[in-house]
Structure formats: structure tokens, C-alpha cells
Structure 1
Amino acid sequence: MSVVDHTLDYLRESLSNYMENEMCQEIVNKMEAKRYANEDQFVKDLDEEEMTYLNDVLENELNYAKGVQHDSRVKELTEVYELLF
């Protein structure tokens, strides 16, 4: 039985809140086009501008998730956030 990594699913869901932004659309398109096996592979494929944008989005999303005490979401999004820089 394999363990499913939901980190990128949480990230994709969080990014859906920002789809009016062109950079966000590019990041989501990259996620969907390449189907990364895990968050480490995904972050390694980001350029500096994408990383900076994602850093800002994740700060907002983590603050929200902490505020509503959604612990699993905080854990999964933190995994991506910590890989950025």
C-alpha cells in the first residue's frame, strides 16, 4: 500500500484562491503539466520569481489555516514553504 502525498493537493487548492493573478496561473499550469511526484521536485522546478510569489501566497494561506486551526493544512503547506528559500 502506498502513501499518498497530499502536500501538492493542498497547495493547488490554496492557489485556486489567487487564479486572477497571471503568476499564479503559470504556477498552477506548471503543476498540472508536469505532475510532480512530491513538493521537493516541484519547488526545484520553480524560477526565482515563482518562488517569491509562492512565498507570499503561502504566508497568507498559512496565517489563515492557523487562524481556523486547520492543522493538517498548516502541516502540508509548511512543507512547501520551508523548501522555498
Structure 2
Amino acid sequence: MTRKNQHVVPHDDKWAVRGAGNSKVTKQFDTQREAIEHARGIATNQQSEVLVHNKQVKFASGTATETTHFLQRDDLEPAIRMSGPAR
């Protein structure tokens, strides 16, 4: 089995899980928390990691970039509790 890190990304005013390198999302959710939980299950099964992107977009020289938070499997529970209200 290929180990693909799972990305939690903003998608059409919702949240989605996307496997690393995939062009399509795996599944879409109303909240970031739901997406993290789903990504966590996949990452645990594949022995990979979860990367959580946020919705804040910064513009530098006309290029949009997203901030990414890297979470190891062992860090997911505290990260979910500390993330505040999911949007």
C-alpha cells in the first residue's frame, strides 16, 4: 500500500480531505473538525501524516499562498482540541 499524506483543505466554502498528489478530493465536509477526523482515520490506516491547511490566504507579489500546519498522528488529538471553533 502506498503511504499518502492526507491534506485537510478549504474547498468550495467547506472543508475537504485530499490525498497527496491527488487532483480530486476524497470527501467534502461542512467543518474542519469533521475533515480532520476523516483524514486521521485514513492516515492511521496508511501509516501516513495529516497536513491541515487554513483558509487564510496571504498575497505576496500577486501570488496567493496558504499556511499549512503539519500534524503528526500522535499530535492530532491536542491539535483538534486547541484549534478552536471549526468553521
Query: Max radius of gyration: which structure?
Result: 2
Structure 1 or 2: more strand by fraction:
2
Higher helix share: 1
Structure number with the bigger relative contact order (C-alpha 8 A, sep ≥ 6) is 1
TM-score, structure 2 normalization: 0.32
